[in-house]
Amino acid sequence: MTARTTAADALDSSVGPREKAAATARILGRLAGTTGHVAVERATRRKARTADDIPVTAEEITPEWLTAVLCRETPGARVLSFDVPGGSSGTSTRHGLRLVYNDEGRAAGLPTRLYTKTTASVTQRLIQGLAGIIEGEIEFFNRVRPRLEIETPVGYHSAVDRRSWRSISVLEDITQTRGATFLHADQRFDRKAIEDLLSDLATLHGTMWEDREVTRPDSWMPTPHDLLMSIKTSINMRKRSVIGAERAKAVVSEDLRGRADELWFAFERSMALATVGPRTFLHGDAHVGNTYRTAGGRTGYTDWQMVRRGSWAFDFALSVTTVLEVEDRRAWERELLEFYLGRLAAAGGEPPELEEAFEMYRVQTLYPYHSWTYTIGRGPLQPKMQPDRLCLPIIERSAAVIEDLGAIEAANRR
Mean pLDDT by 10-residue block, N- to C-terminus, for the chain (414 residues)?
Answer: 44 60 78 90 91 95 98 97 90 94 98 95 87 87 95 97 94 97 96 98 98 90 88 83 96 97 96 95 96 98 94 98 98 98 98 97 97 90 78 97 98 90
How many angstroms from the chain centroid is the CA of residue 120?
20
What's the half-sphere exposure (Cβ side, CA atoms, 13 Å) at 329?
Answer: 25
Q: At what angle do helices 224-234 and 17-44 cross, to 10 degrees?
A: 90
User: What structural domains does the chain harbor?
Assistant: 7-17+180-413 (3.90.1200.10), 46-175 (3.30.200.20)
Amino acid, single-letter form, for residue 5: T
pTM of the predicted structure, to 2 decimals: 0.91
- Partnered with residue 87 across adjacent β-strands are 95
Count the residues in the chain: 414
Q: Helix, strand, coil % (nearest 5) of the chain?
A: 50, 15, 35
C-alpha closest to that of 164 among 34, 60, 47, 39: 34
Q: What DSSP designation does 32 have? A: H
Residue 254 burial (CB count, 10 A):
8
pLDDT of residue 2: 39
pLDDT reported for residue 99: 98
DSSP code per residue over 190-257 = -HHHHHHHHHHHHHHHHHTTT-HHHHSTT-SS--HHHHHHHHHHH--HHHHHHHHHHHTTTTS-HHHH
For residues 194 and 336, what is the distance between their CA atoms, to the nearest angstrom? 8
Of the candidates 11, 2, 15, 9, the one whose C-alpha atom is nearest the C-alpha of residue 236 is: 15
Identify the pLDDT of residue 130. 80
